[in-house]
Chain A
């Protein structure tokens, strides 16, 4: 079982809806990520939070709005999405730091399957 929990597992929404994806980890990791993955494509980095501050935004459209309320939680707020935004949204966490002991391993959740009608 993964130690990164994502809810909901499945979400269907209309283009005018507002919804949120949630992610939680209790491993004490201080970096948390959102990735988007379409079928047979690689996960694509969207956002990174490091120590609860937004560190990376990969030019993601503003209809996706991330939030990191505390070191364990990461949200992705969705508004006015398009059908092409339908995908598997993956949350991940890692322990930042440049020590040789750091494997840089990303711990992924099971994902939230989003369908936009």
Chain B
């Protein structure tokens, strides 16, 4: 069955450092991969999308890489801030405009001042 794995252990880093989160998937050939941020008790908020034919995408302090051979995506937050503390969810979709987006359980990030 399709499976998305994100590190279930929380990631603790110091302010100003780069946070790197990992998303691995199996039994799936997604057309694109998304990253969302979720704060406790709130709905996820879209951050970035990367398509299967793209290797890297950047947006401000965020960078996402996508390796379809390794079936892995890395999500980087540079110059991290305490306000970046949240759970980050990886999501895969079979095709653009399709509806069956599936989510990983997320990795909790804590950024200490």
Contacts and interface: CB of A to CB of B under 8 A. Distances in A.
Contact of B41 (A40, A88, A96): A88
B6 to A, nearest CB: 9
B84 to A, nearest CB: 19
B20 to A, nearest CB: 20
Contacts of B74: none
Interface of B: 4, 8, 32, 34, 36, 41-46, 49, 89, 91, 93, 95-106
Name the prevailing secondary structure of the B interface residues. Answer: loop
Given A31-B99, A96-B99, A99-B96, 10 more contacts: A2-B45, A41-B105, A45-B102, A50-B99, A56-B100, A96-B97, A99-B97, A105-B34, A105-B46, A111-B42
Interface size class of A (residues with CB under 8 A): 20 to 34
Interface of A: 2, 4, 31, 33, 40-45, 48, 50, 55-56, 88, 90, 92, 94, 96-100, 102-111, 113
Nearest to B31: A104
A39 B70 CA distance: 29
A66 B100 CA distance: 17
Nearest to B48: A103
